[in-house]
Structure 1
Amino acid sequence: MIDIDELRKLFLFERLTDEQLTMLASRGKVSTFEQDEFIVRQGEAADCFVVLIEGEVMMTTDTSAGAVSMSRTSQPGVYGGAIGAYLGERAPRTYTHSLRATAPTRMFVLPAAKFAYIVTEWFPMAIHLLEGLTFGGRAQREIIDRRQRLTALGTITAGLTHELNNPAAAAVRAVSELRHLMGASRRQLAELAEAGIAPERLRHLVEMQESCAASVGTLPPRTPMQISDAEDELGDALQELGVEDAWELAPSLVSAGFDTKGLEKVRAKVGDEHAPAALRWLAEATEISQMLGEVTEATERITSLLASAKQYSQMDRAPFQVCDLHELLESTLAIFRGKISPGITVVTDFDRTMPRIPAYGGELNQVWTNLIHNALDAMGEEGTLTVRTAHDEDEAIVEIGDTGPGVPDGIKERIFEPFFTTKSVGKGTGLGLDISYRIVAGRHGGELRVRSAPGDTWFEVRLPLRETVS
């Protein structure tokens, strides 16, 4: 049994009475460990509370990329192992980290059950306070996590609403114009019929309209000056032919590839007496095709945005699934598009050979949201947002970079801490990166790193290609 005077030298026990030290000594034992020997190992049953008497220990946490060193110390009295055993059934059942001796070491080892009994009996008020801090803090973090998610959802919803508004407004405007144009087109056909146009001539006119409609959007690109010159030339020709509102009809016909040669074809097909009315109908029918194209484009854009929102939310899929990271990234970028300043250039560099990975898709989308939001916030109105992917034999790699001012060296080690933020009051909760880190490391067994210099900041996410999530 360890001498109580040796226990008293340890800062953890220095204020205990002789009676308490004697009981403590009788319940525990002294164990020795050689260099590089594990004292407790992450993932094993948490059945001991250990206190350093002499030597040196290192705390490590295992990740998919190997063991990450958390701290190294030789201070007598430092402790580890089942430190939450006093929480009873709510305590962790396995060690959440490893302790390894880095030099010949002596430890005072107390069984977790005896440690829990002693602390509960000796410090009942402290137990209640510790439970309150532990579970109250956990509940507070869950509440703030939910708030953070709602804040991110609000940001995304605003962007999505803006993006949906543009094609929706375009579709409404086009439909409104279509009503007027279709009415005018019907009246023009009636006038042609009353003027006695022959059926075969009308058929030729319809064929020309179909040819013009098929040309909309497929013509070789022209400069604004070339388009203006073509409209002037066609407008003059229409006016000479006696077509009313010639200058209003010319732009629609020119956009469909119609020119003075086409004008001569119309005259040849329908005759000079019917040409003015036929050309008015042809211009209106062509404009109808253009409006229909605008409605189609707008509704396809809305459908694409809704598909992106569905992919982003993962609402129709199981939480854990085999995911295509590029689909997740693209859906997040699509949702953000309405919030990206015109001065921000978005660059994507995707390794399309990357295999699908097992993951919680919705949670990873929250990570991309947090990282992209931070990058945009750092750059302000101008800069370049880069999203790129790569993979090796074991890991998928996603990097999100920005050209903002960068993360100062003095705070790089703190940016993943909960509630730590460099934003002004009311601008951020300081939990975005903490949540992202816990999703990547805790839920997926991956890593989240940062490297930064002024004008060149990168957040790197590494995820295992094979299932290791918890």
Structure 2
Amino acid sequence: MTLIRQQLFPRLGLNVKIMLTLSLILLGFALVSGGTFALIQGRDIKRHLMDQGKLMATMLSGSLQSGLFFENSSGIDQAVTSLLGRNLHKDLQAVSVYDAKQTMILHKLTKTQETPGTTKRLAGLMANALAAFQQNPERGTVWEGDDLLIFTTSVTVATADARPESLYFDTGSETKPPTLVGYAQLAVGRSQYFGEIRAIVLQTGVLTLVFLLVALIATYRLTRETMLPLKRLIDAIRSRGGQENQTAPDEVGFLGDTFSRLVRDLEEAFNTIQGLKDGLEDTVAERTQELRKALAELQETHLQLTQTAKMAAIGRLVAGVAHEINNTTNFISGSLPPLQRRLDELEEILRERGEKDASAEDQRCEALFKKISLLLANISEGARRTSKIVGDLRNYSRPADENMGLVDINQCIQSTCSLASGECKHRIELTQDLATNLPLMEGSQGRLNQVFMNLLLNAIQAQPEQGSILVRSWVTADKVHILFRDSGPGIPPEVMDRIFEPFFTTKERGQGSGQGLSISYSIIRKHQGEIQVRSEVGQGAEFEIILPLKQLPGAEERSGPQ
């Protein structure tokens, strides 16, 4: 088989072989499609010819009813002549009429068929068709010859009796089955049918050739464009391997030889690598462990740096806003005392005047002064509260740098609670139980504010309806304790061990990133402290932070959450 293929395609390129193969496939497809189309069209034409012939036979049968029933030869001849004169089909050759005993009454040919030999031949064929119709009226309606189709139909009259007047009048007799009065035949040639078939075959052949030509051109261009990168690859392989003068049966054969050499080289390289593999496995495992550890530290550091940058930006924004608000508040607060003094003077003048000559207008002015004094007191109280909020914002927005300083834990808690009070107004009771003798401790105020805010917001969000939160602080020996207790649903046991994992959250998508507790745990650990968690389902949760008053140089608490 290989020898035959080599003889048929001696040293042909792969692109030529592909083009020849595709051409043969397209040729087969075109021939099958063209043949199928021609066959379908031929069947349609033949069915149309059959329907047309049956219709003409039916028309002839209807026009012959009266002539055959009354045995009127002139009526029969007139009906046949009328049908031939209409030229319903150009291949209509002859018409025959028989009586009920199958005796030919009339046999008439068209002018083109009036020759002695043709008359005798058509009469014999039509007699054969009539015999076939007698044997099987259903299937013998159409008799097919080589170049002729003969349509046979019976001529019947639906009458109650055989009297002539029953054809036109109701004689009152009982209706009987139709009475057979004769037969009619039409002989139609197939020259037009064959001509249409030849035209369809010719058109199909031309379309097939055009399709094949276009397909060959498209195949050639597609094959050339497809094989161009492969040819470049082969040229590059030959150039690098010093095989410019080497010949191969085709591109695939050359690539096969090159691939075989590459497989042998890879096997040798694999054997060499396999010899080194055993000694490297332990080293790779050790390096992998170190890389995992470094990656975890890098991720944690990246998370902290991102959060630090975010908090720093928020701090700068809050500090700027607080400065602007504080300037406006100072302006209002500074203007209120002089305004109050001027109102007091006016009130004193009005009071002296009222003692001398009191009137209704003076009483009205006195009432207005009282209302204005009340409004000024409200404005003064609002300015005081605004100043307190601004102070809390400044305290909370201090840069969360790594430099440790003395921190007032109670002040941090108060500032955090003040800022978060809007989240729990009218639905959560926030209670502060802070130690009065709490000493200052070493730490980063900004980072501790961040921890307290995370824990407080988690406690608030855990209670969507009514609830309570307790924040306590106390000192024991050289430790400061801060407790956050809520009356929420608690933490399930299966979640307890994962709450400090980065990006772990039980909140719905878009409501939490899972970084708050992870960052808080990392900050407390850097302060050499620890976070203890206690919770029961349905009984709320407690987060207790334990921090040393003084930071030990070079020490860092490594204990996890408890």
TM-score (norm 1): 0.48
Question: Which has more helix, going by share of residues?
Answer: 2
More strand by share: 1
Normalising by structure 2, report the TM-score.
Answer: 0.41
The structure having more radius of gyration, on CA atoms, is: 2
